[in-house]
A and B are shown apart, each in its own frame.
Chain A
Amino acid sequence: MAIVGTSTRRPDYLDKVTGKGAYVGDLEIPGMAHAKVLSSPLPHARILRIDASKARALPGVFGVLTAHELGDMDPYYGSDIKDRPIIAIDKVRYEGEPVAAVAAVDLETAEAALDLIDVEYEELPVIATMNDALTDGAATVHQSNLCHESHYEWGNTEEGFAEADRIFEDTFTFPMVYHYSLEPHTVIARYDELGITVWDSAQHPFLVRNELARLFGLSLNRVQVVVPYVGGGFGSKSYIKIEPLAVALSREAKRPVKLAYSVEQSAKTVRRHAASITLKTGVRNDGSFVARDCQIRLDTGAYADNGNRVTDRCADQVPGPYLWPHLTVTSKGLYTNTGAAGSFRAIGGPQAAWASESQVDMIADALGIDPLELRLKNLGAPGDVIRQGKNPLDADIATGLKEAAKGVGWAGRGAKPVTQEKETKRGIGLACSVLNAGASPTSTALVRLHADGSATAMVSTVEVGQGSKGVMAQIAAEELCIPLEKVGVVASDTAIVPYDRSTGASRSTTLVGLAVQLGAKEIKQQLLDLASKHFEAPEDKLAFADSSVVFGQESITYAQLIRQMFGGPAGELMGRGYVTPQTEGPLKGLPVFWEMAVVGAEVEVNEKTGAIRVLRLVSVSDIGKAINPKQAEGQDEGAAMQGIGHTLFEELIYEDGQLLNPNLVDYRVPSFEEVPDGFETILIENEDGPGPFGAKGIGEGPIAAVAPAIANAVFQATGVRIKELPLTPERVWRALQAGTSGGHKVDALTEG
């Protein structure tokens, strides 16, 4: 393979580094109006009255949308749970919720019109936290404060605890964090008699299309979703967000409307679920895991968004990559009066792995067993069923974990690295988990071989920064045996490219890449038919090389074959790629593949200030086959850095329903300062994945394992165990203050 497996230059790099690349915010549609949203200043209130008459009368205003204008439709939407109104109806559920929207000739006029809208509220009790949501007799955000509950079990956990020698019970918390993609939510919507067109910053264009068609009563062919470059997503642009609002406003204003959110509005639109996870784990003295009971609470905020799936998926991650004879998991997604929570890179994974992998180290410490050995003892092996009813494990976690341990210098339980500075201490920690990746195997692609032998791959994968356009081209070029520069990729326009479910869950290279490969293979079959006639030779005597079909010493180019077929320099061949649960190969059942999450970290803790420096971070991903190794490493490093963010300092702070830090001055994301001096990605390539050339997806794994690896390293360094994130200097300092008096502490340790 000459093209696949090579770190070719991505086709969008020049567009992006020169600023030429167009994002939705750069687009201008003829006749376009500019929109502004009036946000609720209150986190929970009844709307008694809205008077927008003065705003409507302002010159330059084309339309004002309030709940009143939606009387002719069912205005509730969501990825599964349809609980979110296009615009607030009768009450507001979070501070920042759109109450009215204005389309005007320019932003200044729209802003001026907002000041003329009069809203009268009656304040309601604020459900600020999950504890508030669970309080008997508390006010409710919706019909109840329970958004979704998920439960599963196997074995008999009570009997398991009776068999255990030791039982550990701990509660871990995970903060609300925001994705902070550079581009906030932005959409241009045009609603007219022909249907709907939206130019959208979205990860799932076809799911946006489907939901808009349902909401506005149109057939699928009359809704077009066009996605240009997207300035980062990480899940924040999955499913459907502000598109219905923009479309409804366009309908009202009778012209195209651009709605561009600020960072603050976007941070209130979607975030990651805060979590509280209580783990009760029974083990034998030799370290064998026997039983686990887990209670999860997740804060989904004012609306479900994708909270039901996150609730399910977080529950799914509780066993980790281990074999549990007895397991009971209950997961509850709760409504509160805060901005909604939805998908975020490795949905539900970081929360569950934070709890589970921290506790595994606590168990190792209490039993006097090396944490690496304890993990290896309990890990599932490839082929083992680690979740009942799901596909068996297809990743070799043990090898990955040993690689990470070696890479980060793990030398055993007591062997911690030394530091020269008197006030600092060093430690190493490990963590591993496994993610249920790929979402569902529903992807298609169309490959076109043109009359000159060049090709176009048409896919719906969104170029969200991950480098999909280059990778799809590499796959098509390799399979078609043509040069990379002869392949173009057309992506993410639902009126042009064929269906794909979504860009997320580490799925695109595996599933859409497979569809591209299948499409290219279908073209090759057509070329074989043509060449077989041309050479009057059987297909099995033919081969492909350098844009040609070869028969012995003779060869004919693809271009010549196409011209022969169409009788002139015209025409093209088309190849279809369908990936469905019935596709030949290993796509039966779920997940599509298990994504390894393995991280080793070395940290230095300043005991006087509590500040942590991550000195070394090694992550291991099982990629099957790296189509573009450099981009794969970039994805893996990106996931690790994003994990460092929620580990060390990221947290959205809500106080009584008001978000206190909706900007980068008060909410810190990792910068180059935080890149560890030793930062390594190890890619395992066994060419055994279900994707093209044996590939399988990566790009999420490390984000699930970074936090516990770092906290475990902090424990090795200082002997202090912290169960809350982020590990800010003050939190670490306080833990050190509390810990130095009591020494090592394991909470609620009971003898079984």
Chain B
Amino acid sequence: MLKPFQLHEPTTVEEAISVLGKFGDDASVYAGGTELLLAMKEGLLSYDHLVNIKAIPGLDVVDYDESTGVLTVGATATHRALEYSPLVGEKFSLISDVEHRVANVRVRNVGTLGGNLCFAEPHSDPGVFLLLYDAEVELVGSGGARKQSVEDFILGPYETTREPDELLTTIEVPRLPEGSRHAYIKFGYHERPSLGLGLVARVDNGTLADIRIAVGSVGPKPVRVRNAEERLRGASLADLFGNTQSSALLDEAGRMMAEAAEPVTDLHGSAEYKEHLLRVFLEEALEEATRG
């Protein structure tokens, strides 16, 4: 049962920070509540104060700066807004592709990208695409503003570097290099994903000129797998698929992914199975992202 709490509705970021600072651990930011309220109803979390930041004007911005090539997503922009933004669809198609598959319509309508990041539920999609874009978050606290990569921001299950009096205000997403193609594979039969594998590739003259790989949902947090990227970069497409040598290369990259993602055994499946799936989906994603 949802226990009573006081709802604060600040209209500026400063006001929100001040309320958060005042109540400390007794307060939580409310940025959609799709996960927060579920956990509170179950009694897993309990707060006397919720700070609704959805009333802060402009915090739901989705804006692109042509000169820098950076997309700015405000903390309260919903999954649905990103899914349907023509701008995002045109210039950040990986985002709209993944957002279209996040949870269900009801969650996408009220859930926000910022809220999703700060809640840091391990079984979740958005962390993966943000890692592929090398996205950064901006946090504002009483001591001022700071920026941090999403990769460093998420520490583990339900844990980020955000201080209780800090508010995540924006997420900055630089464009992918020209000519990049992507694939995102989502697998599982539970309400939340069991595995998310995202891959960005740029093919030049029949070789894998650039590649980025990120994995989520199988372990404690989403991760970029840079050593696997390194290993695959420069490989020729002809050599990548369909022979024993390429299979050994993909096996090796798959092992690196498993090592980085640290799959855990849980209700979604055993660590062994998840490791197997990483290898299977690496190949599938590579094929999809490099297909002529």
Residues of chain A having any CB pair with chain B under 8 Å: 36, 107-108, 111, 262, 608-609, 611, 648-649, 653, 660-661, 663-666, 668, 728-730, 733-734
- Interface residues as binary, B254-267 with A (CB distance below 8 Å gives 1, 0 otherwise): 00000000000001
A733 engages B1 (CB within 8 Å): no
B273 engages A653 (CB within 8 Å): no
Which of A107, A668, A730, A734 has its CB near the most chain B CB atoms (within 10 A)? A730
A668 engages B190 (CB within 8 Å): yes
The answer for the CA separation of A608 and B278 in the assembled complex, in Å, is: 11
Query: Quick check: is B91 within 8 A (CB to CB) of the other chain?
Result: no
Contact of A729 among B3, B189, B191, B192 (CB under 8 A): B189
Residues on A with C-beta less than 8 A from B190 are 665-666, 668
Q: Considering the complex, give the chain B residue whose CB is closest to the CB of A648.
A: B189
B3 engages A730 (CB within 8 Å): no
- Interface residues as binary, B74-101 with A (CB distance below 8 Å gives 1, 0 otherwise): 0000000000000000000000000000
Nearest-Cβ distance from residue A453 to partner chain B, whole angstroms: 48
Residues on A with C-beta less than 8 A from B276 are 733
B: contact size bracket: 10 to 19
Nearest-Cβ distance from residue B291 to partner chain A, whole angstroms: 15
Nearest-Cβ distance from residue A295 to partner chain B, whole angstroms: 30
A111-B3, A730-B270 known; A609+B191 contact, CB < 8 A: no
Contact of A668 among B3, B42, B187, B191 (CB under 8 A): B191
B189 engages A663 (CB within 8 Å): no
Contact of A609 among B4, B192, B280 (CB under 8 A): B280
Instruction: Known pairs A108-B4, A728-B189, A730-B273; list 19 more (Cβ under 8 Å).
Output: A107-B1, A108-B3, A111-B1, A111-B3, A262-B1, A608-B280, A611-B187, A649-B189, A660-B267, A664-B191, A665-B38, A665-B191, A665-B192, A668-B190, A668-B191, A728-B269, A729-B189, A730-B270, A734-B273
Nearest-Cβ distance from residue B45 to partner chain A, whole angstroms: 15
Query: Quick check: is B277 within 8 A (CB to CB) of the other chain?
Result: yes
Nearest-Cβ distance from residue A608 to partner chain B, whole angstroms: 5
B150-191 interface with A by 8 A CB criterion:
187, 189-191
- Chain A interface, DSSP helix/strand/loop, else mixed: loop
Residues on B with C-beta less than 8 A from A664 are 191
A608-B280, A666-B190 known; A661+B267 contact, CB < 8 A: yes
The answer for the CA separation of A227 and B3 in the assembled complex, in Å, is: 30
Residues on B with C-beta less than 8 A from A661 are 267
A730 engages B189 (CB within 8 Å): no
A666 engages B267 (CB within 8 Å): yes
- Interface residues as binary, B42-75 with A (CB distance below 8 Å gives 1, 0 otherwise): 1000000000000000000000000000000000
A609 engages B267 (CB within 8 Å): no
Residues on A with C-beta less than 8 A from B192 are 665
A668 engages B189 (CB within 8 Å): yes
Which of B38, B42, B192 has its CB near the most chain A CB atoms (within 10 A)? B42
Q: Considering the complex, give the chain A residue whose CB is closest to the CB of B274.
A: A730
Residues on B with C-beta less than 8 A from A262 are 1
B273 engages A733 (CB within 8 Å): yes
The answer for the CA separation of A730 and B265 in the assembled complex, in Å, is: 12
Q: Considering the complex, give the chain A residue whose CB is closest to the CB of B42.
A: A663
The answer for the CA separation of A404 and B183 in the assembled complex, in Å, is: 40
Nearest-Cβ distance from residue B95 to partner chain A, whole angstroms: 23
Residues on A with C-beta less than 8 A from B38 are 665
Nearest-Cβ distance from residue B221 to partner chain A, whole angstroms: 19
Residues on A with C-beta less than 8 A from B189 are 611, 648-649, 668, 728-729
The answer for the CA separation of A665 and B41 in the assembled complex, in Å, is: 14
